[in-house]
Amino acid sequence: MTEHAHIVPYRTFFIVWAALLLLTALTVVVAQFNLGALNVWVALLIATVKSGLVIAFFMHMKYESRLFLLSLFAALAILAIFIGFTFLDVLYR
């Protein structure tokens, strides 16, 4: 199997880094407000976007094969299911 090197310009990395900084600032700002039960969901949404940026660009998953991406999303779906079951368990105690 041949390896293909994906050369990503520094500008792309800088834009992603700036987006990560903005999302971190957004996390800090949103944490100042009392959203009730939505606090956890907003924090998880922002964290999901940030991890998606890191996985796509810094880990170069954007350029991987479909089978590898499918296995990654399957693992993330299983993790989300486990986290969801944990939330349900804590909710009904």
pLDDT, one tens digit per residue, over 7-65 is 888 999 999 999 999 999 999 999 999 988 888 889 989 999 999 999 888 888 888 88
CB atoms within 10 A of CB 42: 15
CA distances in angstroms from 68 to 2, 52, 60, 72, listed in the order given: 16, 15, 12, 6
The per-residue pLDDT for 3 is 65
Rounded CA-CA distance 77/16 in Å is: 24
Q: Is the CB of residue 27 less than 8 Å from the CB of residue 46?
A: yes
**Sign, Cα dihedral of 52, 53, 59, 65:** positive
The per-residue pLDDT for 9 is 86
**Per-residue confidence at 2, pLDDT binned at 50, 70, 90?**
low
Residue 4 predicted with pLDDT over 90: no
Every domain of the chain and the residues it spans: 10-91
